Chain A
Amino acid sequence: MLADFGFGILLVTFLASLYSIVASLYGHLAHRPKWVESARLSMQLTFPLLTLASLTLIYLLVSGDFNVKFVYEVTSRDMPTYLKVTALWGGQSGSLLFWSWLMSAFATAVTLRKWERDREFLPWVTMVASITIAFFLGLNVFFENPFQRFWQTFQGVDAYTFRPANAIPFAPEDGRGLNPLLRHPGMVIHPPMLYLGFVAYVIPFAFAIAALITGRADDRWIRLTRRWSLTAWLFLSLGLVLGGRWAYDVLGWGGYWAWDPVEIAAFMPWLTGTAFLHSVMIQEKRGMLKRWNMILIILTYSLVVFGTFLTRSGVLSSVHAFAQSEIGPAFFIFIGVTLVASVALLIYRWDSLHAEGQMHSMFSREALFLLNNLLFMGILVICFWGVISPLITELVTGSKVTVGPPYYERAAGPLFALLVLLMGIAPLSAWGHITLKNLAAQNGLELEKRYALAIAKLLWKPAIPAVLVLIGLLAAGITNIYALIGLTFAALTASITLYEFWRAARARGRAQKEHFFLALWNLAGRNRRRYGGYIIHLGVILMAVGIIGIEMFQSETQRSLAVGESIQLAGYTVRYDSLAQFPANDGRWVTRAVVSVFDKNGQFLTELYPRYDVYSDGQPMTIPGVRSTLADDLYVLLINWEGVTSQIAPFKVYHNPLVNWLWLGAFVFIFGTLIAAWPEAEREPLPAQARKTKTVYQPGD
């Protein structure tokens, strides 16, 4: 009964979102503000409705109503309640509902306030958001109804939305339960973070489309959605990092990122989103790159839907899966239509989006930001092609190929290294301009040379620590050329960034007679965007160090050990002490080994407990025992797949140098994003009349 209620709500919400689209269009075309207002209200109605639908589904999940197919598929009696709640996004139909729910929450939040101020944009924002919500709800209503129930007919048991003739409801004894791999706290919050990131990107896209439709060529849409873009970016980054951490903890292959197409699907909107985050600054400051920013946000939106599509449709395993998947073609059509419509709008407004400013040098901030965008786009192309080329190959040649990690690492590695370097140099160009003037006064050099000189002048002091790091690395006997390049770039960029902080704080401290740290605090507080950005950069550098550590210097070994025997790896000795097998209270069968870890002097370090759990449905899960320090992780796996007895057990040991810098960097990164996105008493953007972006040089340009 409750399931029918839930489906009824979905249907009503779907109709409300369709009405919202039609009413906002009609209101505009017929100049009837009441219709526009009605569209807004009906769009806002979707949020309480979808909340009700989601709560209904959660209630069904928690109460274990296995008559509902979705409940049967993702829960079982022995699951704890919190997992039953989070099972909402543990399967396809539920996660689509969850997507729409988040989307309607964000869209409502946007249109609830400041409607009068943004009267120009918001009706169109309503329409774009409603189209998106309507699409995802449509998937739920027509293809993937989470409220489908099992019915017993003469033909047997099957799931239907509506009761077939002569059918009686059927409820299995117990559900299949959530995939054990997904029963991890990281997996519980990883999908919502990704979804929040995905959904939040719809907001800047909606404003961009509104700007295209209304013909406003200035940066107002960017200023209005700056915080939304940052929020989206924050959540997407969080989602990616949590996913990596989850993989590291649970998947049992000693890594955090496998270049799996599903990972890449979430990574691609992040790439365009990051490029967007940078290039909008050029439009805000200089009135340039207007078309490019439009292209970036349109791409981001398409990739968000594409990402949801890739993870949901099953297209990745094979093109044939795509044909079988019911929602595959729907996604394909939706992405196609929205992309074509957006691009058509962009072309329509192309001429009005001309650049107001001009670029003066290859070393100017604008030029370096463009280079940044090129690198991000380069990585995007590599990722996109890596995901779709096996599908194209299968279509053309009929045979399948794997495009695996070596392809991505070889192609994207150098681009990442360049990005790290650019991250250091680009902020310098902010000051390059004024130093340039001084240099110009001193001599009559050519512009390019002056810029280069200005940057060199700013660069030499921070370069000293980088050179010292390089010498230290060489002295330590590191000969891997890629690691040397990567770590030197990282050191240089870190030192430039820290130097920027130090210089600014010292200057302010001297002028305002403030203590150094107070000055630092005030600086960061006053220009959160820049200094938050620098902190993000520092976080990325820490992450880069961790990534270089594990990618370049990871070592591993595997052997079957009898009790008392040991294996050596990277100066560590791991001794197998004992093994225990016991049932856990949630139906798992746990096999847990005890191993002792010694350092190279034979000093006892710690005990680790690698184990594997077999769930009641036979699904195994390998949990490593990890000794973590800032220098390295010793990651010990008891590998169930080779047959374990109490006498002999196979172990796989990974030595992952510096990997914790990756997680540490992620914290710094998130801290920086929070600083950059933290609300400040913002001057209201200028009201409605078209305002030309002023092309003046402001500090920090």
Chain B
Amino acid sequence: MRNMWNDGFVKKAFLALFLGLLLALMGVGGVLAQDTQPPTDDEVNAIARQLFCPVCENTPLDVCPTEACKQWRELIRLKLSEGWTEEQIKQYFVDQYGARVLSEPPRQGWYWLIYLVPVALLLVGVYILFRAYQSMRAPLPAQEASDPVASPLPASLGDDYLRRVEEELKKRT
């Protein structure tokens, strides 16, 4: 009896799963059907922004007014409508025109140097600074006790801050 119930449960579960999958697929199908609408300008620009054409130095593709760049954007639109992903489209342009179309070099091989050299130099800078601190470092000298700032000013002036401000103005006049 229990087995029977179990069998029934399994069958029902399979059925539910099957129906669920079917629904899910239909849902995806619906989404896919929506996606066949032409890609929007914003979707094209989102990819174009990350690309540079070889002719227009330093002008990202999304704002470049030249005819060539316009054609590139149309190409992106076409690929998008064919269902290509962003990565595939970028890779397509890299394959066609080389790594220079990307807004920064891919992290591989020689190109690593581009990323690592500033970091290394910065570390060298930190090290030099640290050494400078150490070499220039000295304990507070004894003459501190007779610091000129502490020198004669009316005691009525009260707090140190005021005294400093006044001292400074005196010095300047």
Chain A residues packing against B (C-beta within 8 Å): 252-254, 258, 260-261, 288, 316-317, 355, 358-360, 362, 366-367, 370-371, 374, 377-378, 381-382, 385, 389, 393, 396-397, 399-407, 411, 431, 434-435, 437-438, 447, 503-504, 507-508, 510-511, 522-523, 526-527, 556-560, 620, 622, 639-642, 650, 652, 696-700
Interface core residue of B104, B144, B160 (most chain A CB under 10 Å): B104
Q: Are A252 and B114 in contact (CB under 8 A)?
A: no
Identify the closest chain B residue to A373 (Cβ).
Answer: B129
A698 with B100, Cβ < 8 A, contacts A385-B117, A438-B160, A522-B169 known: no
A378 touches B161 (CB 8 A): no
Interface residues of B in 65-82 (CB under 8 A from A): 65-66, 69-70
Contacts of A396 in B (CB 8 A): 110
Q: Are A393 and B164 in contact (CB under 8 A)?
A: no
Give the distance in Å from the alpha carbon of A360 to the alpha carbon of B141 in the complex. Answer: 9
Chain B residues near A401: list those with CB within 8 A. 99-100, 102, 104-105, 111, 114
Whether, in the assembled complex, B42 has its beta carbon less than 8 Å from a beta carbon of chain A, the answer is yes
- State in angstroms the CA–CA spacing of A400 and B58 once bound together: 13
Contacts A366-B136, A527-B168, A558-B41: A252 and B63 contacting too (C-beta < 8 A)?
A: yes
Cβ-neighbour of B173 out of A254, A434, A526 (below 8 A): A526
Pick the contact of A355: B52, B136, B162, B164 (CB < 8 A): B136
A378 to B105, CA, bound (A): 21
- Indicate if the CB atoms of A526 and B139 lie closer than 8 Å: no
The answer on a CB contact under 8 Å between B111 and A526 is: no
* Residues in B56-106 with C-beta less than 8 Å from chain A: 57-60, 63-66, 69-70, 98-105
Residues in A whose Cβ lies below 8 Å from that of B137: 358-360
Contact, CB under 8 Å: B171 / A698: yes
Question: Which residue of A has the minimal Cβ distance to B160?
Answer: A434
22 sample A-B contacts, Cβ–Cβ < 8 Å, listed by A number: A252-B65, A316-B57, A359-B138, A360-B139, A389-B114, A400-B100, A401-B99, A402-B105, A403-B104, A404-B104, A438-B160, A447-B140, A504-B161, A507-B166, A511-B162, A557-B42, A622-B65, A641-B65, A652-B41, A697-B147, A699-B164, A699-B168
Instruction: In the A-B complex, list the 10 residue pairs whose CB atoms are closest, starting with the nearest.
Output: A404-B103, A358-B138, A558-B41, A253-B63, A507-B162, A699-B168, A400-B100, A359-B136, A641-B65, A401-B105
In the bound complex, CA of A444 to CA of B159 (Å) = 22
The verdict on B148 contacting chain A, using a C-beta distance below 8 Å, is yes
Residue B132 interfacial (CB < 8 Å): yes
CA distance A696 to B171 in the complex (A): 14
B117 to A, closest residue via Cβ: A385
With contacts A401-B100, A406-B103, A406-B104 known, is A434 near B149, CB below 8 A?
Answer: yes
- Looking at the complex, which of B1-9, B16-24, B118-126 is the stretch in contact with chain A? B118-126
Known: A371-B129, A401-B111, A641-B69. 18 other contacts (CB 8 A): A355-B136, A359-B138, A360-B138, A366-B136, A374-B125, A374-B129, A378-B125, A385-B117, A389-B117, A399-B99, A400-B100, A401-B104, A402-B103, A447-B139, A504-B161, A508-B166, A641-B70, A699-B168
CA distance A699 to B172 in the complex (A): 11
- For B121, give its contact among A360, A381, A557, A640 (CB under 8 Å): A381
Q: Which residues of A contact B113 (CB under 8 A)?
A: 389
Question: Chain B contacts of A362 at CB under 8 A?
Answer: 133
Choose one: B111, B139, B166; the contact of A511 (CB below 8 Å).
B166
Tell whether, in the assembled complex, residue B45 and residue A558 are in contact, meaning their CB atoms are under 8 Å apart.
yes
Tell me if B157 is interfacial: C-beta within 8 Å of chain A. Answer: yes
Residue pair B118, A381 in contact (C-beta under 8 Å): yes
Cβ–Cβ contact A261 & B118, under 8 A? no
Chain A residues, Cβ within 8 Å of B40: 559
* Residue ID in chain A nearest B98 by CB atoms: A399
Question: A358-B138, A385-B114 are contacts. A503–B161 as well, Cβ < 8 Å?
Answer: yes
Q: How far apart are A102's CB and chain B's nearest CB, in angstroms?
A: 27
For residue B165, CB closer than 8 A to chain A, the reply is yes
- B172, A527: Cβ atoms closer than 8 Å: yes
Given A360-B139, A389-B114, A402-B101, verify A434-B133 contact (CB < 8 Å). no
Report if A370-B132 is in contact (Cβ < 8 Å); known contacts: A393-B110, A401-B114.
Answer: yes
Task: List chain A residues, Cβ under 8 A from B118.
Answer: 378, 381-382, 385, 411
- On chain B, the residues within 8 Å of A620 by CB distance are 65
A267 CA to B2 CA in the complex, in Å?
81
Residue in A447, A620, A650, A697 whose Cβ sees the most chain B Cβ within 10 Å: A697
List A contacts of B147 (CB < 8 A). 434, 437, 697
Chain A residues within an 8 Å CB radius of B160: 434-435, 438
Give the docked Cα–Cα distance between A434 and B148 (Å). Answer: 11
Q: Which residues of A contact B121 (CB under 8 A)?
A: 381, 385
Of the candidates B66, B122, B166, B171, the one having the most CB atoms from chain A within 10 angstroms of its own CB is: B122
Is there an interface contact between A508 and B114, defined as CB atoms closer than 8 Å? Answer: no
Specify which chain B residues have a CB less than 8 angstroms from the CB of A437 in the assembled complex: 144, 147, 150
Chain A residue numbers with a CB within 8 Å of B69 are 641
Measured between beta carbons, the chain B residues less than 8 angstroms from A652 are 41
Q: Once the chains are docked, how many angstroms separate the CA of A431 from the CA of B117? A: 38
Chain A residue nearest to B172 (CB atoms) is A526
B157 surroundings in chain A (CB, below 8 A):
511
Which residues of the partner chain A approach B173 to less than 8 Å between Cβ atoms? 526
Residues on B with C-beta less than 8 A from A253 are 59-60, 63
Selected contact of B161 from candidates A358, A447, A507, A557, CB within 8 Å: A507
CA distance A511 to B125 in the complex (A): 45
What separation, in Å, do the CA atoms of A526 and B65 have in the docked complex? 54
Specify the chain B residue showing the minimal Cβ separation from A408. B104
Instruction: Write out the residue numbers on chain A whose beta carbons fall within 8 Å of the beta carbon of B100.
Output: 399-402
Evaluate contact between A360 and B140: CB separation under 8 angstroms.
yes
A381 contacts B122, C-beta separation under 8 Å? yes
